[in-house]
Structure 1
Amino acid sequence: MDGVHDLAGKQGWGQVPHTANGPIGDTFKYDWEHLGYSLLFLGVSKGIFTLDEVRHSVERIEPRVYLTTPYYERYIIGAASLMVEKGVLTQDELETMAGGPFPLALPAVSPGRPAPEHTITFEVGDKVRVRDDHFAGHVRYPAFCRGKVGTVQHRTAMTWPFPDAAGHGRSDGGAEPSYHVEFAGEELFGDDTDAGAVVVDLFEGYLEPAV
């Protein structure tokens, strides 16, 4: 889905400061931040929702709330929203525990979709194009690579549920491998870029031969 969460490659935001991960203990800056992942993995382990459903729920957070909310708090909102949507909690119960109003994700606008039929298995070195489609539901490709051509660098040995279905709680999406696809910086962003190349991990159903 095209939303406020998909900001990579957008004009006007400048470079993103980045530092490599430190020791495990440095993962969380504040004591409360672990709650987001705790709720996420609790719900997944209990079969209440899938990881892709949580990602979709985070994507559905109202844009003004999304942009003013820290990363881990978004996952608290996402997991809590699913708890309400799945009937585990009511919004009143949630707000009683929170001690006041609690923002929830906006309703989904799409029922999801299964993987495309007749996908192709690619090999390292193959030229591929990302499907140029616009889908209102959850997807796992950044908008900046839609319709762009890259080269397969690696194919995973394992398969995972197709996110466009799993993100909506569907079980008819099948499972696919993913590919590491390298794109030239100019292919993605034009001549005005500092990127020499960008590698994106993409599900098989998002790819087609580049002809």
Structure 2
Amino acid sequence: MDGVHDLGGMQGFGEVPHTVNADTGGPFHAEWEHLPYSLMFLGAADMNKFSIDEVRHVVERMEPRHYMATPYYERYVIGVATLMVEKGVLTHDELEELAGGPFPLSLPATSAGRPAATERQQFEVGDQVRVRDEYVPGHIRMPRFCRGKTGTITHRTSESWPFPDSIGHGRTDASAEPTYHVSFAATDLWGDDTDAGKVIVDLFEGYLDKV
């Protein structure tokens, strides 16, 4: 989904603050931050109401100013709460009663997604591939900074997962695909105004074509 969340390679946001988990005791830096992951797996695994990709999509659907002003884990509280309302687990009024006040939700979905491609190529380590230059509405796990770019396969996963452009919309035609680590020269992605080096992007098979 081409939205405010897709920030790879964008300028003007300043230095990214970063802490090493080993120095802070783990990924959660506040007592409440485990809550969104607990709620996410409650809805996805225990209640079978939605998939993890639907959670990613609903977070992407947050109003852009709301998204940028909201901490990472809080976005997932909002996302899961939105899905609980959309799936009929509870009403928005019930949610706001539980929250003790207004609880803004993500915006409604504007796309039904797309099915996985029926004809795909398989790749091996060392293959040169080009990322498809596709801009589709709705959820997609192909960063815009690498679309249309050429890279090299460095790893192929042994497992397969449902195509995110389908399952992220709750579709039932999300056939399983492996993912590949694709290595790109940083200068091929962003020109000479970048540090020399390589960028590894994890991409689904359906996003790639052999060069």
TM-score, with length taken from structure 2: 0.96
Q: Give the Cα–Cα distance (whole angstroms) in 1 for the partners of residues 19 and 32 of structure 2.
A: 22
2:6 aligned residue: 6
- 5 Å-filtered alignment, 1:17-166, equals 17-22=17-22, 25-45=25-45, 46-166=47-167
Q: Give the Cα–Cα distance (whole angstroms) in 2 for the partners of residues 15 and 31 of structure 1.
A: 26
Q: Give the Cα–Cα distance (whole angstroms) in 1 for the partners of residues 69 and 41 of structure 2.
A: 24
Residues 138-180 of structure 1 deviation map (CA, whole Å, 9 limit, x = unaligned): 0111111111110000100100000000100011020000000
1:203 aligned residue: 204
Post-superposition offset of 1:20? 3.5
Q: Give the Cα–Cα distance (whole angstroms) in 1 for the partners of residues 59 and 113 of structure 2.
A: 16
**Aligned sequence identity (%):** 66
Judging changes above 3 Å, is the alpha-carbon distance between structure 1 residues 148 and 97 closer, same or farther for their aligned structure 2 residues?
A: same
Which residue identity is paired with 1:56? H
Post-superposition offset of 1:195? 4.8
Q: Give the Cα–Cα distance (whole angstroms) in 1 for the partners of residues 203 and 196 of structure 2.
A: 19
Q: Give the Cα–Cα distance (whole angstroms) in 2 for the partners of residues 193 and 89 of structure 1.
A: 48
Post-superposition offset of 1:16? 2.1
Q: Give the Cα–Cα distance (whole angstroms) in 2 for the partners of residues 174 and 65 of structure 1.
A: 33
Which residue identity is paired with 1:2? D
Judging changes above 3 Å, is the alpha-carbon distance between structure 1 residues 195 and 171 closer, same or farther for their aligned structure 2 residues?
A: farther
Post-superposition offset of 1:26? 2.4
Quick check: 1:193 aligned with 2:194?
A: yes
Residues 106-142 of structure 1 deviation map (CA, whole Å, 9 limit, x = unaligned): 0111001111231100010001011101111101111
Judging changes above 3 Å, is the alpha-carbon distance between structure 1 residues 174 and 125 closer, same or farther for their aligned structure 2 residues?
A: same
Size of the aligned set, in residue pairs, is: 210
Q: Give the Cα–Cα distance (whole angstroms) in 2 for the partners of residues 141 and 22 of structure 1.
A: 30
The alignment's C-alpha RMSD in Å is 1.3
Q: Give the Cα–Cα distance (whole angstroms) in 2 for the partners of residues 92 and 67 of structure 1.
A: 25
For structure 1, the 5+ residue unaligned runs are: none
Q: Give the Cα–Cα distance (whole angstroms) in 2 for the partners of residues 19 and 27 of structure 1.
A: 9
- Name the SS for the 2:182 alignment partner: strand
Greater CA deviation, 163-172 or 18-27? 18-27
Post-superposition offset of 1:52? 0.1
Judging changes above 3 Å, is the alpha-carbon distance between structure 1 residues 187 and 8 closer, same or farther for their aligned structure 2 residues?
A: same
Post-superposition offset of 1:8? 1.1
Greater CA deviation, 10-19 or 20-29? 20-29
- Name the SS for the 2:21 alignment partner: coil
Post-superposition offset of 1:21? 2.8
- Name the SS for the 2:138 alignment partner: coil
Post-superposition offset of 1:25? 4.0
- Name the SS for the 1:111 alignment partner: coil
Which residue identity is paired with 2:182? V
Q: Give the Cα–Cα distance (whole angstroms) in 2 for the partners of residues 31 and 185 of structure 1.
A: 38
Q: Give the Cα–Cα distance (whole angstroms) in 2 for the partners of residues 20 and 30 of structure 1.
A: 15
Judging changes above 3 Å, is the alpha-carbon distance between structure 1 residues 12 and 23 closer, same or farther for their aligned structure 2 residues?
A: closer
Q: Give the Cα–Cα distance (whole angstroms) in 2 for the partners of residues 202 and 108 of structure 1.
A: 24
